[in-house]
Structure 1
Amino acid sequence: MVGAHVSTAKGIENAVTNAAAIGANSFALFVKSQRKWVSPDLTEHSIKEFKARMEKHRYANGMVLAHGSYLINLGNPDPDSRAKSYACFVDDLKRCEALGIELYNFHPGSTVGKATTDESLALIADCINRAHQETRNVIAVLENMAGAGNIVGSEFSHLAGIIERVEDKSRVGVCIDTCHAFAAGYDIRTKEGWESTMKEFNETVGVKYLRGMHLNDSKTVYKSKKDRHENIGLGYLGLNAFHHILSDSRTQGIPLILETPSFEQPKEVWGKEIEVLQRLSGNVQDESGKPDFDGLVALIKGAVKEAETKNGGLKAKKSAKPKAVDVKRKRKGSVEDDEATEEDD
């Protein structure tokens, strides 16, 4: 169920249309501005139109992976800062419920250097428990992180430490980001490495909690602890990594979301990446009977090059998701208030 994190510009209902336009059969979106603590309420028109378009394009509610605000830090030990994050968190969940979205993905948080990792994990779990009391059915999906600075969530044990403290475990899950996992020290480039990673995930967290994935190649090397997304097959992970992921039965039926650079040409770039990823789940052999990874990588590389040209030779690759770091705009108490925070997502 491959898709991408699409734009909601000019109305949240447009996310559905944007997803359909790139051939996605799942998608992610922000349910409000990811840069503001408070945003205008969703209008009844937008809610109704969102649901109508979901039905028109045959998207099941479970194929949408909403993404939380970058400002949220439920692991902050400062009560006032955490309360502000919690209010933003619950507002996101209620927006998901209004839209009929079942899965809400968010970054676990940061100790901001003022708490132990375990203390922050307990605070995050407490916020999830409280939020479950204020909402009905949205599943809080924890994202693994790359391991920069004081941010928690780079180790599967961190995610397990949160989940074990959550009272209603039917409403908590995990989203594995391939770039984050690689940067944090999970070598998923080979089938053996992927199997080893999934074995550890199942033993530590439980594969039943896997509710989605972010499919991103990496611009940086293994164990870099840096979150730099690259287009599929063009980074240090390589296309082979996505071959064994896409052909794994454990990744079937959950949203697999691209957060790669689109160069402001989502149909051309994400559309081609989705096409290639769908082919990876089946027969990708060339005439000699060997996997035709080179041919598939060439398709993506060609789409990227053409998009760059159309976009005036843009060098800094852009996606629909702005970077999470802006030094001039850091907010105290948020995950961004960390000198070495995650930069893409």
Structure 2
Amino acid sequence: MARITNHWKVGPHVSAAGGVENTIVNAASVGANAFALFLKSQRKWTSPELKESSVLEFKSRMKTFGYSASHILPHGSYLVNLGNPDQKKREQSYECFVDDLKRCEELGLHLYNFHPGSTVGVATKEESLALIAGCINRAHTETARVVIVLENMAGSGNVIGSTFAELGEIIAQVGEKSRVGVCLDTCHMFAAGYDIRTKEGWNVAEFERDVGLQYLRGMHLNDSKATLGSKKDRHQNIGLGELGLATFAHVLSDPRTRDLPLILETPAYDEPGTGTSRLGKGGMDVWRKEVEVLNRLGSTGEGEQGKARMDEWTDEIRGVVQRASKKRDAKGKTVKEGGQKRRAGKRKRDRDPEDGGNDEHECESCSEGG
């Protein structure tokens, strides 16, 4: 699929199944100008080293497909909790964290996004904030150039980073400030109580005050199934949730978000490998449509005409989602004829404090292979 030239760099979190080099083909197949990936299994403490052949092919495809390292935003492991007061568990997290940073450098990538951590109900917020900053400072001494990007969170349980003030406090304690930044997730912002549905609300004066716009290094573009201030991280397809397409029109017409990786973590339904394209195995029709619509938003006018266009584009996304979801569920698994309910088994999102993880994430598109 041809990629639109645009100041706003939009694309999904794509699969690295079969090797990190495949992320580039998967991104290009949906017309993405940016993308995210996992550098290893996001649910294992240790993984095999990157194959030399994968590293070489990744760099080769970056040139072939014309991607910039500045528009790729790797996502860290869900297990990592740098705010855990237990030194042994924090060290395990740190080793996993630094391993990812070194993989970024091996691939020539500039940014690395991760969930800040959790107090696990034992430390105070202030103590965990200091521990996270201390780990970032230490990681800077072990790596050369990767910018460590803190993701804002929805605010459930003991998770750190749902307020801009907490993110700002971590940054204040980091020595090498040119190598730290923030990724703003629209669903998380809304769930944490920041109403970004209006143009005035999107101006996020609190972010400029508590963090600073110079630290904005990327965004996750997700609509929300949950309501404002719910503290629930429930991603929805663009325009189909509580935020609506107009929210994303504010983002995609804002000069402050130009040239940043703007990453979709919405349900894809049709996992990579379904269908074919000239670029290889395809699928991902939902992401293809979301990228297409988001790339149109910068030209959306105000008033009734602009609203009518956004209603029409929302219906386009809804139609593709409905078709895809009849065939596959949000995890990309085939739905049996007559429909199939999602498994009722317990999904352990709020991890036991003893395991040290900080997995608040509810994105069903970001598991490996989807």
Q: Quote how far apart the aligned CAs of 1:76 are.
A: 0.3
What are the Cα deviations for residues 120-178 of structure 1, in whole angstroms up to 9, with x where unaligned? 00000000000000000000000000000000100000000000000000000000000
Structure 2 partner of 1:136? 144
The residue correspondences of 1:217-232 to structure 2 (distance < 5 A) are 217-232=223-238
CA contact under 8 A between 1:325 and 1:342: conserved in structure 2? no
Structure 2 partner of 1:262? 268
What are the Cα deviations for residues 174-199 of structure 1, in whole angstroms up to 9, with x where unaligned? 0000000000000001111112x2x1
Q: 1:127 aligns with which of 135, 158, 164?
A: 135
SS in 1 for 2:355: coil
C-alpha spacing 1:84/1:57, structure 2 compared with 1 (3 Å): same
The Cα RMSD (Å) is 2.1
Distance 1:314 1:331 in 2: 35
Q: Quote how far apart the aligned CAs of 1:93 are.
A: 0.1
Q: Which runs of 4+ in 1 moved over 6 A?
A: 327-331
Unaligned 5+ residue runs, structure 2?
Answer: 1-8, 272-282, 329-334
What are the Cα deviations for residues 237-279 of structure 1, in whole angstroms up to 9, with x where unaligned? 1111001111000011000000000002453100000000010
Structure 2 partner of 1:116? 124
TM-score of the aligned structures, taking structure 2 as reference length: 0.86
TM-score of the aligned structures, taking structure 1 as reference length: 0.92
Q: Which amino acid aligns with 2:26?
A: N
Query: What percent of counterpart residues are identical?
Result: 59
* 2:31 is the counterpart of 1:23: yes
Distance 2:132 2:306 in 1: 49
C-alpha spacing 1:245/1:315, structure 2 compared with 1 (3 Å): farther
Distance 2:303 2:37 in 1: 36
Q: Quote how far apart the aligned CAs of 1:283 are.
A: 3.3
CA contact under 8 A between 1:284 and 1:291: conserved in structure 2? no
| Structure 1, 207-216 or 304-313: larger mean CA deviation | 304-313
Distance 1:117 1:223 in 2: 20
Structure 1 partner of 2:358? 335
The residue correspondences of 1:300-339 to structure 2 (distance < 5 A) are 300-311=317-328, 312=335, 313=339, 316=342, 325=348, 332-336=355-359
Distance 1:105 1:187 in 2: 23
Distance 1:48 1:42 in 2: 10
Q: Quote how far apart the aligned CAs of 1:119 are.
A: 0.6
SS in 1 for 2:37: strand
Structure 2 partner of 1:247? 253
Q: 2:82 aligns with which of 74, 86, 96?
A: 74
Distance 2:306 2:132 in 1: 49
CA contact under 8 A between 1:2 and 1:257: conserved in structure 2? yes
Q: Quote how far apart the aligned CAs of 1:324 are.
A: 8.6
SS in 2 for 1:27: coil
CA contact under 8 A between 2:196 and 2:202: conserved in structure 1? yes
Distance 2:193 2:349 in 1: 26
Q: Which amino acid aligns with 1:280?
A: L
